[in-house]
Structure 1
Amino acid sequence: MADATLFFSLFTTLLAIINPLEAIPVFLSLMDGKGDDERRATARKACINVLLLCLFFLVFGNVLLRLFGVPLSMVRVVGGVILMRIGFDLFSPSPNSMLSGGKGNGGDVSFIPLAMPIMFGPGVIATVIGLTSLVRKSDHLIVSFAVVVAAIAAAVLCTYVSLVYAKKILSKIGPQGVDAATRIVGFFVSAMGGGLIFHGTVEFLQSYGVLLGGPPAG
């Protein structure tokens, strides 16, 4: 049950932050004039890049936590602040957003700007490190990490499918539908960030015995 909860929480959070619906118009703009085969190849490469980046920070982030003894509570608080900012940006997008970048690249856009920063950014890093660092407390470390990897792969797969069928999805829901969905996602991402800040702050205070539930004095 705990593994299922971890999978669902990480999968839904990553999918919300990656936000394939927001990436769709950007992807179509970058791929304007390209054939279906090239669009699929670019979508595949971009999603593989996102998957590799997630796995890198999954391992490297947790190694840093162990090596430098960074408290999980602080990771949650900082990650929560980042998530809240991303959520507010999604809810009230500004003209100077990432949607305007990258078209003039003229080369391979599968890594920059499609994978980074459009789909993979600080919010994803904070989520991977903040949520999966809970695995350290698990009694089944290998199983829990396998669940986390599966959740990341599932979120990336959904993103890939969304990009492959980008034209059909955009034609069905339209630009206004994408905008509405993005704003709804932004609200929930902000709520997730607020939750991380709250729980991180409570855990930090408990660790110093300020609140009940912390370690005994002395």
Structure 2
Amino acid sequence: MHDLGTFVVTVFMGFFAMMNPIANTAVFVGMTASKSPQETRKIAFKALFCAFCIVAVFCLLGKGIFSLFGITLPALRLAGGILVFLVGYHMLQGKQSKIHSHQEATQTAVQIEEDEGDIAISPLALPILAGPGTLATAMNYSASGDITHILVTIAAFAVLCVITFVCFIAGPQLVEKIGEGGISIVTRIMGLILTVIGMQMLIQGVHDAVMLFGPTAS
């Protein structure tokens, strides 16, 4: 029970740090500034629902994807660890990784809005909410194929989506109260958490690779 509780907290904090609802709220407010409250609520729900579906699919089909492409779990943890570490490192420096680039996504959103496109799908759902780092985190925690781990990973992301939805709806008031300085501090803290999670994934990946391919493997 203790191990399961630790796993639940670890998964939730990993997703929370990667998605960073506070910083993403500022991005969301900027993208939907010209929208009515009803349109804003609709965009927020659609973006988060799409992000949840994407992550859930990767969690459920992760093991099948591995089998299809001949990917081993240590390889995922090593690659995912590097990816998560890089995202966290850039956040720790007060910058945005190109993997989850808010500035680029905002420019894309402006272009999409001009073309009467749907910003809920792109760039909100992809790549801001369910970007490569988020997917790597999800697959790392659910890749063992254990049904409990898969369900916990999906449930943790669902809870985070609800929290993010509330933040998006209360976006203008939240951004006004926290301010740029507060958002910067939260981003750096989330970056620190992500770098630690990324390093832990790397260590686990190296350990698993040694166990799988080392001299004693056979």
Assess, with a 3 A threshold, how the Cα gap between structure 1 residues 103 and 161 changes in structure 2: closer, same or farther: same
The two structures have a TM-score, normalised by structure 2, of 0.87
Q: How much has 1:155 moved relative to structure 2?
A: 1.5
Partner of 2:102: 98
In 1, Cα distance between equivalents of 2:97 and 2:151: 40
Contact 2:141 2:153 in 1 (8 A): no
Contact 1:76 1:197 in 2 (8 A): yes
SS in 1 for 2:120: coil
In 2, Cα distance between equivalents of 1:52 and 1:95: 24
Partner of 1:23: 24
Partner of 2:190: 185
Contact 2:18 2:194 in 1 (8 A): yes
Q: Which runs of 5+ in 2 are unaligned?
A: none
In 2, Cα distance between equivalents of 1:12 and 1:94: 19
Q: How much has 1:90 moved relative to structure 2?
A: 1.5
In 1, Cα distance between equivalents of 2:45 and 2:53: 12
Assess, with a 3 A threshold, how the Cα gap between structure 1 residues 95 and 46 changes in structure 2: closer, same or farther: closer
Q: How much has 1:68 moved relative to structure 2?
A: 4.1
Q: Give per-residue Cα distances to partners, 1:38-63, cap 9 Å, x unaligned.
A: 11111111100110110111123221
Q: How much has 1:7 moved relative to structure 2?
A: 2.2
Assess, with a 3 A threshold, how the Cα gap between structure 1 residues 95 and 53 changes in structure 2: closer, same or farther: closer
In 1, Cα distance between equivalents of 2:71 and 2:97: 36
CA-based RMSD: 1.9
Partner of 1:7: 8
State the AA in 2 paired with 1:116.
L
Aligned length in residues: 208
Q: How does 1:150-161 map to 2 (within 5 A)?
A: 150-161=155-166
Contact 1:7 1:150 in 2 (8 A): no
Q: Which runs of 5+ in 1 are unaligned?
A: none
Partner of 1:33: 34
The two structures have a TM-score, normalised by structure 1, of 0.87
Contact 1:31 1:39 in 2 (8 A): yes
Q: Give per-residue Cα distances to partners, 1:66-86, cap 9 Å, x unaligned.
A: 344422111100000000111
Q: How much has 1:89 moved relative to structure 2?
A: 2.1
Partner of 1:63: 64
Q: How much has 1:99 moved relative to structure 2?
A: 2.2
Contact 2:91 2:188 in 1 (8 A): yes
Contact 1:98 1:117 in 2 (8 A): no
In 1, Cα distance between equivalents of 2:48 and 2:75: 29
In 2, Cα distance between equivalents of 1:95 and 1:20: 16
Partner of 2:214: 209
Contact 1:90 1:186 in 2 (8 A): yes
Runs of 4+ with deviation above 3 angstroms: 66-69, 94-97
Q: How does 1:18-167 map to 2 (within 5 A)?
A: 18-92=19-93, 93=95, 97-100=101-104, 101=107, 102-106=109-113, 107=116, 108-134=118-144, 136=145, 138=146, 141=147, 143-167=148-172
